[in-house]
Amino acid sequence: MTEVLLAVGTRKGLFIGRRRDHGSWEFDDSPYFNAQAVYSVAIDTREGRPRLLAGGDSAHWGPSVFHSDDLGRTWTEPPRPAVKFPKDTGASLERVWQLHPAAAEPGVVYAGTEPAALYRSEDRGESFELVRPLWEHPTRSRWVPGGGGEGLHTVITDARDAKAVTVAVSTAGVFRSTDGGASWAPSNSGVSAVFLPDPNPEFGQCVHKIAKDAGDPDRLYLQNHWGVYRSDDAGAHWTDIGADLPSTFGFAVAAHPHRAETAYVFPINADADRVPAEHRCRVFRTADAGRTWEPLSKGLPGEDHYGTVLRDALCTDDADPAGVYFGNRNGEVFASADDGDSWQQLASHLPDVLCVRAAVIG
């Protein structure tokens, strides 16, 4: 029996769906973390027993990281805050933007936060330590929050090298470490910052999301605040690949789990008009590393559409053919079970969808 689990984080709780043996999707009766915004979810399948991690954000109690070892039926919150800024930083946690199981280190989970910081856990996400060299980076005083805050929203690790870590911050850009987080360097060459007097700074780009290619771990795809880019050298240099898209503004990018040179984006009209490009609900796929893009819309709404897809609300699972999923601010969730060729709507009238994650769990 094959089972796929889909976790949908929304402005008011976490919704969990399951599909068995390519049958119909079934969602749990009620949301978990009712009335909490869930900005980050991870499904950790590295050690055989899946663990779910969720970054909840209670308006009363504040943000926290929860974990579940029974596919979301019950959840545990550590007795002490899993993610907390040390007193000497003078900072307080606003939210957890990202939860990322490390590719090369079983048990290690990274968390990205607002204010922009990276945390590392060695106990599968039950406790985290601040990665101080990034927090104390000499450029930090010149980082400027984006429209959604100053968040570290992307973490990329390398299965070949546990010491290679790449992060993205809005609006500081891409930073890379090759020594396990002991030092960090800006890595934005070729990425434009059209909103700055100097559009090509060393740092300060408003990077929205990064995804890693399935066939070449050194190939990355980047969705920027205006601009879609590709790197073939692990982020050292970036090349514009957005010429074939109806708009190069957007938030989300995801890569196919098995097929090389294949990635997905959801174009938005503009930074001042944050609705789907040309008011059409379409995912765009490249099968040649961004040289060309094709719209995918079979089964998606055909009428004018206004559902914005946020940076973590587009994902793929690890099935073959791949499942592709996205949710939007209309509270709709759509899924494809054939690499994006066709779609079905799984949910509607949910709260704003903030993030989606999916994985084969059995």
Q: Residue 100 to residues 6, 66, 122, 273, 294: CA-CA distances in angstroms?
A: 16, 14, 12, 31, 29
Percent of the chain with pLDDT over 90: 94
Sign for the pseudo-dihedral over CA of 26, 32, 37, 41: negative
Using one digit for the tens of pLDDT, what is the confidence trace for 350-362?
999 999 999 999 8
Residue 21 is encoded by which pair of tokens? 């043996």
The residues spanned by each domain of the chain are 83-348
Residue linked to tokens 């004018």? 304
Distance of CA 296 to the CA centre of its chain: 21
> What is the CATH topology of the domain spanning 83-348?
Methylamine Dehydrogenase; Chain H (2.130.10)
pLDDT(49) > 90: no
| Average pLDDT over every residue of 23-52 | 93
pLDDT(225) > 70: yes
The three-state DSSP-derived secondary structure of the chain is CCEEEEEEEECCEEEEEEEECCCCEEECCCCECCCCEEEEEEEECCCCCCEEEEEEEECCCEEEEEEECCCCCCCECCCCCCCCCCHHHCCCCCEEEEEEECCCCCCCEEEEEECCEEEEECCCCCCCEECHHHHCCCCHHHCCCECCECEEEEEEEECCEEEEEEEEEECCEEEEECCCCCCCEECCCCCCCCCCCCCCCCCCCCEEEEEECCCCCCCEEEEECCCEEEECCCCCCCEECCCCCCCCEEEEEEECCCCCCCEEEEEEEECCEEEEHHHCCCEEEECCCCCCCEEECCCCCCCCCCCCCCCECEEECCCCCCCEEEECCCCCEEEECCCCCCCEEEECCCCCEEEEEEEECC
Using one digit for the tens of pLDDT, what is the confidence trace for 161-193?
999 999 999 989 999 999 999 999 999 999 999
Using one digit for the tens of pLDDT, what is the confidence trace for 139-164?
999 999 988 889 999 999 999 999 99
Query: Mean pLDDT in the chain?
Result: 96
Using one digit for the tens of pLDDT, what is the confidence trace for 205-219?
999 999 999 999 999
Using one digit for the tens of pLDDT, what is the confidence trace for 327-336?
999 999 999 9
- Say if CB 334 and CB 345 are below 8 A apart: yes
Using one digit for the tens of pLDDT, what is the confidence trace for 303-354?
999 999 999 999 999 999 999 999 999 999 999 999 999 999 999 999 999 9
Using one digit for the tens of pLDDT, what is the confidence trace for 102-126?
999 999 999 999 999 999 999 999 9
pLDDT at residue number 47? 83
pLDDT(241) > 90: yes
pLDDT at residue number 21? 83
Percent of the chain with pLDDT over 70: 100
pLDDT(237) > 80: yes
pLDDT(257) > 70: yes
Distance of CA 325 to the CA centre of its chain: 12
Phi-psi bin for 302: left (phi > 0), alpha (psi -120 to 50), beta? alpha
Using one digit for the tens of pLDDT, what is the confidence trace for 68-103?
999 999 999 999 999 999 999 999 999 999 999 999
pLDDT at residue number 1? 66
